């Protein structure tokens, strides 16, 4: 047995205990984790210093160094997150539906944990605790495999969590960290069938593509978003400009940010200059079609084919003039990633058609795509945003980390 | 582009139309299919004759020949199946939940089709129509890849269905058949990412293992069942014997049949001879542990390790005496396939514990495992029984062939 298989087996055994632990015990463990993270924040910060020193020595960019860094305030934020997850309703044991069949069998469908969840992520040490808390609350054991840049931080936090689990009377192996950050360990985790029920990658497009490509365990694909705002010929143009500005500029690095605006030809000459008045305040780089350039000017960089399929994650906006909702929807079908898509329109029928026909995790009328988020959708917290259609689609909260089983109460029935 | 990629693209385009076709048009298409299959049954039977002749020439076993054979009665049964699926409620467009957020956004979760479903199956020609009808009703385009033994039958039925779709005003490509029954075509279908949203294998354990092992598109694993009946120390032994006999003998070839009985030591000497009185009427071969042999006699074949993990699919029963519910549940955790598990007991607490702690798609108290079936569970029809935890678990009806999307009604909200 490899080290990872041994961890997998231990996680499976822990998951059997956790599945029937009940809300009170799980909540007590989450409180113990929160308290221990507070009490032992010194250890965590010291470990984080080691990561930061190594990262600086390796010449990591300041933006990435900032993502990696922890301080008392950030640890407090992580602890708050654990307590917030603790306060959410426990999905496990809920009966989704139940009824009596003509033969007298009472058949119920009950929410149960998935079992053992693997999380592959990159350099954000907070994911270590956030993901573990969501998995624990939903009754799942978790095997974490973080990036090598945050290895000492993650190790320290996992050690604290495992001690707290034991203190609360649950198996330490409910939370485990892969102790090897090589490419080979990631590959082995992706093939840990028989131990892992699902693998969730959290990180950039490259990581997600690699996991989807190489994993043999079931994967939930998260987070790639090439999102569009379509400004209809009957839009409130002022509203459209504010929505576009928000969707592009409020946080360009996230997956629910807009990458492309599609503008109905009949309003393009009015709308584009209005939108630019806002976008220019953030020095947004526009990459436009010929008509966009004819309206806004030659300073607009001509869009090339790959611009229509790129998640810029930056203050860059692709811009295309279209003949109406039909062309907009065809364009979205061809270039969208099924994440979040929005129309701005005053026309009832156009709005309904867009909602019906656009195939994405979240389809908006007259609102910014930036709302696609577990907190904003009222799920309390999220482990990621699924852009696949199987199992879960859109923001994934606690319910999306569950499966179901049928429970059947008989009185001797045979078939 | 390969032939299969061309088919995949055509299916994707058809799926976009089908997704918004509405119940009335889909039902009209299903009725057109039923009528066309009736009207053109001669073509189908002639094609089936070609398959049967080839199969006889190749020396196919009589049981398999029978599964391959169609006649007027069987075609009528297939047609009835289509009309039954037509009569089921359409899951598409149902709003699963909807509410207003504090910022005024109205957020609803709506059921939508998965998109394009691939089905890989073996020599049962009826699967061709059954699977297509379920996919169409749930708004999904389908690419069928049947076994080479039934190729002419499947081709004839798909041709009839495609004509009927066109007649009803829907794209022919809502239903397609892979025209190549080589191993390579199956492999290509398993890797048709970008076109297929999900692949469902229907058939024997070998087929399912191969698909799970080799597919890069998401798979729903169906149908492998090593199911147990645990006879508790406080069971009604007469009821237990009837349930065991039914679970083992009513149809031993199916996945919800029992393969193993676990008997509490305190009742084994009473129960085993009672059970044998029923089992002997079907000449069931018992493979038992030492204690079983001590009670029933030396004629019982000694069970070897692999008997505890085998889906016999035949009149063969593994039998083990255990120390109680704890050992039974540990044994089920080690040897079950997560399909259907049953306890027979009069004890309330033991029953609840078994329901809570056994991890399977369906967990029964005092009833036969044979009820794990879409029809029996009230789903109307099923495309298979999922033994995985992701997306769907247990019998899969129309709802399990759907995904969801969030629809968000705004009034200009930005974040």
Contact B145, B185 (CB under 8 A): yes
Q: Is A8 on the interface with B (CB under 8 A)?
A: no
pLDDT-above-70 percentage for chain B: 100
User: Domains of chain B: which residue ranges?
Assistant: 3-220+396-409, 227-375
pLDDT category of residue B140 using cuts at 50, 70 and 90: very high
Interface test with B, best of A367, A372, A397, A399 (most B CBs within 10 A): A367
CA nearest to B245 within chain A? A414
**pLDDT given at position B194:** 85
Q: Is A144 strand, coil or helix?
A: strand
- Window 318-337 of B: residues touching A by CB (8 A cutoff) are 333
The beta-carbon neighbor of A415 closest among B359, B371, B393 is B371
**pLDDT given at position A205:** 81
**pLDDT given at position A188:** 94
Structure tokens given for B242? 């009837």
* Model confidence pLDDT, tens digit, residues A73-122: 999 999 999 999 999 999 999 999 999 999 999 999 999 999 999 999 98
Using CA atoms in the order B288, B293, B294, B297, what is the torsion angle rounded to 10 degrees? 160
Q: Is B364 on the interface with A (CB under 8 A)?
A: yes
Structure tokens given for A12? 């499976």
**pLDDT given at position A306:** 97
* Model confidence pLDDT, tens digit, residues B198-229: 999 988 888 888 898 888 888 998 878 999 99
**pLDDT given at position B203:** 83
Nearest CA distance, B133 vs chain A (angstrom): 20
CA nearest to A256 within chain B? B415
Which CATH code of 3.40.309.10, 3.40.605.10, 3.40.50.2300, 3.40.50.300 fits the domain covering B3-220+396-409? 3.40.605.10
So what's the ipTM on this one? 0.94
Q: Is B409 on the interface with A (CB under 8 A)?
A: yes
* Model confidence pLDDT, tens digit, residues A375-394: 999 998 899 999 999 999 99
pLDDT category of residue B341 using cuts at 50, 70 and 90: very high
Average pLDDT over residues A330-344: 97
Contact A382, A396 (CB under 8 A): yes
The beta-carbon neighbor of A198 closest among B213, B361, B390 is B390
* Model confidence pLDDT, tens digit, residues B49-75: 999 999 999 999 998 899 899 999 999
Continuous H helices in A250-303: 265-279, 290-296
Q: Which residues of A touch B101 (CB under 8 A)?
A: 376-378
- Residue at token pair 């002419």: B152
| Cα dihedral sign, A164-A166-A170-A175 | positive
Helix pair B126-137, B22-39: axis angle to 10 deg: 160
Nearest to A368 by CA among A247, A257, A258, A230: A247
φ/ψ of residue A152, rounded to 5: -65, -40
User: Does B16 sit within 8 Å of A413, measured CB to CB?
Assistant: no
* Model confidence pLDDT, tens digit, residues B110-123: 999 999 999 999 87
| Burial bucket for residue A326 (CB in 10 Å: 0-12, 13-18, 19+) | exposed
Average pLDDT over residues A358-365: 98
Beta-carbon contacts of residue A291 (< 8 Å; ≥ 6 apart): A265, A268, A321
* Model confidence pLDDT, tens digit, residues B375-405: 999 998 899 999 999 999 999 999 999 999 9
Which CATH homologous superfamily contains domain A3-221+391-409? Aldehyde Dehydrogenase; Chain A, domain 1 (3.40.605.10)
**End-to-end C-alpha distance for chain A, whole angstroms:** 43
Which CATH homologous superfamily contains domain A227-375? Aldehyde Dehydrogenase; Chain A, domain 2 (3.40.309.10)
- Of A196-205, B21-30, B354-363, B390-399, give the lowest mean pLDDT range: A196-205
* Model confidence pLDDT, tens digit, residues A6-27: 999 999 999 999 999 999 999 9
User: Does A242 sit within 8 Å of B405, measured CB to CB?
Assistant: no
Structure tokens given for B344? 């027979």
- Of A137-146, B203-212, B266-275, give the lowest mean pLDDT range: B203-212
Interatomic CA distance for residues A37 and A63, integer angstroms: 25
| Cα dihedral sign, A180-A182-A184-A190 | positive
């Amino acid at each position: 047995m490899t080290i990872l298989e041994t961890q997998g087996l231990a996680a499976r055994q822990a998951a059997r205990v956790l599945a029937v632990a009940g809300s009170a015990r799980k909540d007590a463990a989450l409180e113990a984790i929160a308290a221990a993270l507070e009490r032992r924040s010194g250890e965590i910060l010291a470990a984080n210093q080691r990561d930061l020193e190594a990262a600086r020595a390796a010449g990591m960019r300041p933006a990435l160094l900032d993502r990696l860094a922890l301080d008392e305030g950030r640890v407090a934020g992580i602890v708050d997150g654990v307590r917030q997850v603790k306060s959410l309703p426990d999905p496990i044991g809920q009966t989704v539906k139940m009824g009596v069949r003509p033969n007298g069998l009472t058949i119920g469908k009950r929410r149960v944990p998935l079992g053992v969840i693997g999380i592959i992520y990159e350099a954000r040490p907070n994911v270590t605790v956030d993901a573990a808390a969501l998995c624990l609350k939903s009754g799942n054991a978790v095997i974490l495999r973080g990036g090598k840049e945050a290895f000492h931080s993650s190790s320290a936090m996992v050690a604290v969590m495992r001690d707290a689990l034991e203190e609360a009377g649950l198996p330490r192996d409910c939370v485990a960290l892969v102790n090897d950050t090589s490419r080979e360990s990631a590959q082995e985790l992706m093939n840990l069938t028989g131990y892992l029920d699902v693998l969730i990658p959290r990180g950039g497009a490259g990581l997600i593509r690699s996991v989807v490509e190489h994993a043999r365990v079931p994967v939930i694909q998260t987070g790639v978003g090439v999102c569009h705002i379509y400004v209809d010929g009957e839009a409130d143009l002022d509203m459209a400009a504010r929505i576009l500005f928000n969707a592009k500029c409020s946080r360009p690095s996230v997956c629910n940010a807009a990458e492309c605006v599609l503008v109905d030809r009949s309003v393009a000459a009015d709308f584009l200059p209005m939108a630019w008045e806002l976008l220019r305040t953030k020095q947004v780089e526009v990459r436009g079609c010929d008509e966009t350039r004819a309206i806004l000017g030659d300073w607009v960089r001509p869009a090339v084919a790959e611009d229509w399929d790129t998640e810029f994650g930056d203050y860059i906006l692709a811009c295309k003039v279209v003949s109406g909702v039909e062309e907009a929807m065809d364009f979205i079908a061809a270039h969208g990633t099924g994440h979040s898509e929005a129309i701005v329109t005053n026309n009832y029928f156009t709005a309904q058609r867009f909602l019906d026909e656009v195939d994405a995790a979240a389809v908006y009328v007259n609102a910014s795509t930036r709302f696609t988020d577990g907190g904003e959708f009222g799920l309390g917290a999220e482990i990621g945003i699924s852009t696949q259609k199987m199992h879960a689609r859109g923001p994934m909260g606690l319910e999306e980390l569950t499966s179901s089983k049928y429970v059947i109460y008989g009185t001797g029935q045979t078939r």
